[in-house]
Structure 1
Amino acid sequence: MKARNILFLALLLAAVTSQAQRIKGSDTVLPIAQQTAERFMNQHPQARVTVTGGGTGVGISALLDNTTDIAMASRPIKFSEKMKVKAAKQEVDEVIVAYDALAVVVNPSNPVKQLTRQQLEDIFRGKITNWKQVGGDDRKIVVYSRETSSGTYEFFKESALKNKNYMPHSLSMPATGAIIQSVSQTKGAIGYVGLAYVSPRVKTLAISYDGKHYASPTVENATNKTYPIVRPLYYYYNTKNKAAVTPLLDFILSPEGQNIIKKSGYIPVK
């Protein structure tokens, strides 16, 4: 009888463990990952989902190390990372779970309302150093950026800087929340954050990539493509774990999951 009870407990533990999922990576994706995971667990009491940030690079590294089941990413997987996957004789699948507008933010006291892509490039590359050069006050520009492991850092560099290097003296922040806090406390500051992180503590700027048509970062403008700094957000997982992660992936892509994404300030896939 005891042996049968032990076997039953072992099978029960295996069933519960199979429902346990670890999600790690992009701070941009973090809010929707947390909210959809929470709703998923409410509907599936046997499921256990843990979600932690750290940046896209951290998440993909964790996936390669088998210390996470899903990597959240705000950029596509790099060629060098694909080579590591291949070297480890693994196979990784990609799923776009949402889209995000990247907002350029300044201190609320800053009178500047809009910038062109070229002006953004010149500011973040250190060629424009004073706000009076773009119609603002005579005040030094303080540039805040994300750290190099961040997918947001990579995407902004690719989109706004045309893959040119950031200025050497930009201040690297470990997380999006740190940029919000720093910009809110520094009058000459500028930074960039995912749209869902925007708060009254900072002011967003209208951006133009053609020098004529300016658009503010909103879900509506990102959806109708008038706002130019928009990117897909990804989940990556090892194909050998497909059966285990599919219920969670199906939920985030379901109408209910996509509605959570929309209410959170992101752009749904569907």
Structure 2
Amino acid sequence: MKKRLMTVFLAICTLLACAGCAKNADSKIQTKSSTSAKKAEITVAGSTAFEPLVKQAVTSYAQFNPSVKVNVLGGGSQAGLNQVDQGKVEIGTSDFFASQQNIVNRDHLSDYKVAVVGIAVVANQKLKVNNLSVSQLKDIFSGKITNWKQVGGKNQKITIVSRADGSGSRKAFELNVMGKTPIAAAEELSSNKHLEEYVAKTPGAIGYLAFPYLKNSKPKLKKIKIDNVTPTAEHVKDNSWKIWAYEHMYTRGMSRGEASKFITYMLGDDVQDGMLQKAGYISIHDMEVQKDEHGAMVKTGNQPAAKLNSH
């Protein structure tokens, strides 16, 4: 009898031990599965003028959303619109309206205005000219004025530096300075950063640069006044400084999923009430004017936080 009881006891112990092993194995499998779970991923691509702010926002966003990976690519506004139109990225960023470019399915793109960026006229720091009229600036970039002595500087050749076609910064400059007059032959560069570096090292050079790139520019570039107006955020807000553009985020159709959540974050207090201004942008809440894709201005006071357009 005792022998039979001992046999039963040992069998029960063996079963309990096996159950414990199975539980531990299941636990290990579940842990491994959870740690190797793939993050949700979206890609934001386009405007290099908007890129610094988006990168800062992504770093902050990751602290609250560690399960989401947001990739940030440049390439220019035209590239951003083309890629979101083709479904290659979830969000395309642009310094101009999709309706201003030949985007195949632009009527199906949704537009979220997130910020405003000023575009400064910059020159090599050794230049002695501090102020230009709009007319003089236009004549310089059209090739009519070719030497700095023609606008009060020393006898020195003017080197025009511009962004390449497809750049939102270039579009803003053309709309607000050049009108229908084309920019003359120039050194054309693919990003704000490259333009900043080129002007800094080239005597006699003049170009245009998004405000955020002026904050930490080394060596410092000379900011040129236009009609005695300095390129500052305050002057952009009331349109005293007229060279500026909206920073758009476009999605294919209405934003949804992780793209919608990230755009909502960009329009929220964390970005609009601090991060944005520190990075050199202007909040859409602070603008005293609005303008449409044709450049027509409307003085309205502060505009809504986000305006969704179906073009």
Same fold, judged at TM 0.5 (above): yes
Q: Which residue is equivalent to 2:124? A: 107
Instruction: Give the alignment of 1:80-99 within 5 angstroms.
Output: 81-82=102-103, 84-85=104-105, 91-99=108-116
> Which one of the candidate residues 217, 227, 244 is aligned to 2:241?
227
CA separation in 2, counterparts of 1:143 and 1:249? 36
Asked if 1:180 is matched to 2:196, the reply is: yes
| 1:57/1:80 CA distance change after superposition, 3 Å | closer
Compute the displacement of 1:81 (Å): 3.6
Asked if 1:35 is matched to 2:56, the reply is: yes
Instruction: Give the alignment of 1:161-176 within 5 angstroms.
Output: 161-167=178-184, 169-176=185-192
Gaps of 5+ in 1: 209-213
CA separation in 2, counterparts of 1:164 and 1:221? 25
CA separation in 2, counterparts of 1:36 and 1:129? 42
Q: How many residues align?
A: 254
Q: Which residue is equivalent to 1:211? A: none
Judge conservation of contact 2:172–2:244 (CA < 8 Å) in 1.
no
CA separation in 1, counterparts of 2:87 and 2:182? 32
Alignment root-mean-square deviation, CA: 2.3
CA separation in 1, counterparts of 2:260 and 2:90? 11
CA separation in 1, counterparts of 2:175 and 2:100? 15
Q: Which residue is equivalent to 2:14? A: none
Q: Provide Cα deviations, 1:184-220, integer angstroms capped at 9, x if missing partner.
A: 1111100001011112431101112xxxxx2111122
CA separation in 2, counterparts of 1:253 and 1:240? 16
Q: Which has the larger radius of gyration?
A: 2
| 1:148/1:269 CA distance change after superposition, 3 Å | same
Instruction: Give the alignment of 1:34-73 within 5 angstroms.
Output: 34-73=55-94
Q: Which residue is equivalent to 1:252? A: 266
Asked if 1:205 is matched to 2:219, the reply is: no
Any idea what SS the aligned residue of 2:282 has?
coil
Moved over 4 A (4+): none
Q: Which residue is equivalent to 1:124? A: 141
CA separation in 1, counterparts of 2:254 and 2:95? 23
Judge conservation of contact 1:100–1:230 (CA < 8 Å) in 2.
yes
Normalised to the residue count of structure 1, the TM-score between the two structures is 0.87
Normalised to the residue count of structure 2, the TM-score between the two structures is 0.76
Compute the displacement of 1:242 (Å): 2.1
Q: Which residue is equivalent to 2:300? A: none
Q: Provide Cα deviations, 1:236-255, integer angstroms capped at 9, x if missing partner.
A: 01125523312111111111
Asked if 1:264 is matched to 2:285, the reply is: no
| 1:49/1:171 CA distance change after superposition, 3 Å | same
